[in-house]
Structure 1
Amino acid sequence: MTIISDPLQYNEDDLFVDLHSVVGHSLFLKCEGFNFAGSIKLKAAVGMIEAAEREGLLNQWSILVESSSGNLGVALAMAAASKGYRFLCVTDSRCNDATRRLIQVLGSGVHVVTEPDPLGGLLGARLDHIRRLCASSSRYVWLDQYANPNNWMAHHRTTAPAIARQFPDLDVLFVGAGTTGTLMGCARWFRWWHPQVHIVAIDAAGSVSFGGPPGRRLIPGLGMSVPPPQLHASLVDDVVVVEEEDAIRACHRLAGRGYVFGGSTGTVVSGAAAWLDRYGGADLTAVAIAPDLGERYLDTVYSPSWLGEHFGDGVLEPPIEVGTDVRSA
């Protein structure tokens, strides 16, 4: 029996799904969405807030503020409610309505940026808005997930060693690249303790994180429109860039087997399958990290009308094995 008195106390950290029947390769998916925030972002949220508390940055009048496309916003809203802080999530039009409403149900505010910055896109506009807020009042405390080392340290402390405990003979680890907190935390840990593990970053097409050209991105979560400050590309062995259409097909293929995951997870699974198609072997032990579950994507990734509007009616017709860009970091 598990009994808790605080929602932050629960996180199922040792659940893996064998995806061999889905992708045709030996691939174990580490499911990170089974907590009250519904995503891996709970680890970063708690890590950054508790560090701010230790540093004396927070008091009863503080207003936490953060830029998020969705999942971190929910995690921070839940943590703020648990700890008694106020929180304002600064997001943009890509954040779906269900996520915005959930943040508000948890007692936090939501500000939606609609006009992109000419150079930094919607993310740049979000960050500019936060800087103006912080300049207007000392009550605002910006956690800054993009540059805050407690983001990657949370995964260095928890996610990476949890994988190593279950897979001591791990050969390759696939990690989605957003702020790169999860990626850098895991990469640093494995470089130190198990340097033979091959680290593969999964990025979204249209992201500039690894030097690709900026482009349209409709699925929130992975990818950046500005270079991520925490990224050290030397810690990454390969990069797989996944088109959103392929991420969508991966989500639907997983759902066809009874697993409803989010857009970020679909991107990671699609990229991992593409890498394994090229480099995988029967004796390879591979793990991919699934950052989120799918309920918040019912009106987007799993909506026929949304898919038809943005990708055309035939988006689900090609098989999941449609090619993606695999390259060395």
Structure 2
Amino acid sequence: MPVISVPEAFNEEDLYVDLAPMIGHRLFLKCEGFNFAGSIKLKAATEMVESAERNGILTPDSVLVESSSGNLGVALSMIAAGKGYRFICVTDSHCNLTTRQMMEALGSQVHVVSDEGGAGGLLGARLAHVRSLCAADDRHVWLSQYTNADNWKAHYFRTAPAIAHRFPRLDVLFVGVGTTGTLMGCARWFRDAHRPVRVVAVDSVGSAIFGGPPGRRMIPGLGMSMRPPLLDETYVDEAVRVEEADSVRTCRALARRGFLFGGSTGTVVRGAADWLARRGEPDLTTVAIAPDLGERYLDTVYQTNWVQALYGDEALVPQEALVPHEPSVGTPCTREPDTADRLVR
């Protein structure tokens, strides 16, 4: 049994759920939420902080600042508490109340942005506030998960090799996208290792990551209102988009089987299930990455009134079956390098 002295030293790396009995296709769900931060963001947070320390960017007097929709904020709060740093998380009104309370319990300061009147929406407002903090006090250090290469390197060095070790004949990998750190780290590793793995990105409808105007998104985690600077589509084979109502249905269906996952995981599972149903190839070995657990979504995804108000009664379907259907739309990626959006510069 492991004995640790800092919280980031523990992370369960080799836990998978076999979803074949639920969706009718061979799909293994890699569970990344079993650590003290409760999500896959612990890896990126650890890599970015330790790299900044090695490079002398972080000193004992530094104040960490970061824009986050929730999970990275919790991970950085945990690490900052263990290392003795002050941390200011700039989030927005879509961040779950439980998540904000967790950050505050860990000693962090949480600033909630509510004005989305600018061109960049809530994300643009969050980034503007981070910049103002850094301009006002040079002790503030912004790790910038949106542009920091250590974000994807965390998954290049840890997540992808762990999957490859467990599934040496992997055919397809499904990865949810936000900053695209997990996606790019895994996709780069499999390309560099000359593994013929098809990498499918799973995004939310309303996200602008793979083009199109941004739309309403109420579930934090996946999706962005712009193209992430870390994204290089030449490493991605296909992208699918999932309606938030379908993410909710999937989360609630999984919960009826005893698995309480977060909104991001529901989106990834829904996208993977629909993709597999369309392909109709029963012998594929496939893995989907589950970024989070469900406790932080009890007052949203798992709260009936919240779901009805946003998505209507149709989102509260009978939970007996987790069957694939058509709404998710798959599109080949353009395979042209993107240009970093000016918002994060």
TM-score bracket, shorter-length normalisation: over 0.9
Q: Which residue identity is paired with 2:126?
A: R
Deviations, residues 267-323 of structure 1 (Å, cap 9, x unaligned): 000000111011141210000000000000000000001111111122122775342
Preserved contact between residue 308 and residue 316 of structure 2 (Cα < 8 Å): no
* Structure 1 segment 8-47 matched on structure 2, within 5 A: 8-47=8-47
Mean Cα deviation higher: 257-266 or 3-12: 3-12
Q: Which runs of 4+ in 1 moved over 3 A?
A: none
The aligned counterpart of 1:327 is 331
Q: For 1:181 and 1:294, how far apart are their aligned partners in 2?
A: 21
The aligned counterpart of 1:107 is 107
Preserved contact between residue 19 and residue 26 of structure 1 (Cα < 8 Å): yes
Q: For 2:113 and 2:154, how far apart are their aligned partners in 1?
A: 28
The aligned counterpart of 1:73 is 73
Mean Cα deviation higher: 211-220 or 156-165: 211-220
Q: For 2:306 and 2:190, how far apart are their aligned partners in 1?
A: 39
Preserved contact between residue 245 and residue 315 of structure 2 (Cα < 8 Å): yes
Q: State the SS of the aligned residue for 2:314.
A: coil
Using structure 2 for the length normalisation, give the TM-score. 0.94
Q: For 1:65 and 1:264, how far apart are their aligned partners in 2?
A: 24
The aligned counterpart of 2:208 is 208
The aligned counterpart of 2:88 is 88
**How much does 1:118 deviate?**
2.2
Preserved contact between residue 209 and residue 228 of structure 2 (Cα < 8 Å): yes
Q: For 1:295 and 1:312, how far apart are their aligned partners in 2?
A: 22
User: Which runs of 5 or more structure 1 residues have no equivalent in the other structure?
Assistant: none
Preserved contact between residue 66 and residue 73 of structure 2 (Cα < 8 Å): yes
**How much does 1:215 deviate?**
0.4
**How much does 1:106 deviate?**
0.3
* Structure 1 segment 292-311 matched on structure 2, within 5 A: 292-311=292-311
Preserved contact between residue 22 and residue 323 of structure 2 (Cα < 8 Å): no
Q: For 1:141 and 1:2, how far apart are their aligned partners in 2?
A: 32
Q: For 1:86 and 1:112, how far apart are their aligned partners in 2?
A: 17
Preserved contact between residue 172 and residue 198 of structure 1 (Cα < 8 Å): yes
Q: Which residue identity is paired with 1:202?
A: V
Q: For 2:195 and 2:5, how far apart are their aligned partners in 1?
A: 39
Preserved contact between residue 87 and residue 109 of structure 1 (Cα < 8 Å): yes
Q: 1:163 to 1:280 in 2, by over 3 A?
A: farther
Mean Cα deviation higher: 311-320 or 258-267: 311-320
**How much does 1:195 deviate?**
3.6
Preserved contact between residue 250 and residue 320 of structure 1 (Cα < 8 Å): no
**How much does 1:117 deviate?**
4.4
Q: State the SS of the aligned residue for 2:164.
A: helix
Preserved contact between residue 174 and residue 288 of structure 1 (Cα < 8 Å): yes
The aligned counterpart of 2:342 is none
User: Which runs of 5 or more structure 2 residues have no equivalent in the other structure?
Assistant: 334-345
* Structure 1 segment 122-137 matched on structure 2, within 5 A: 122-137=122-137
Q: State the SS of the aligned residue for 1:307.
A: helix
* Structure 1 segment 163-312 matched on structure 2, within 5 A: 163-312=163-312
Q: Which residue identity is paired with 2:35?
A: N
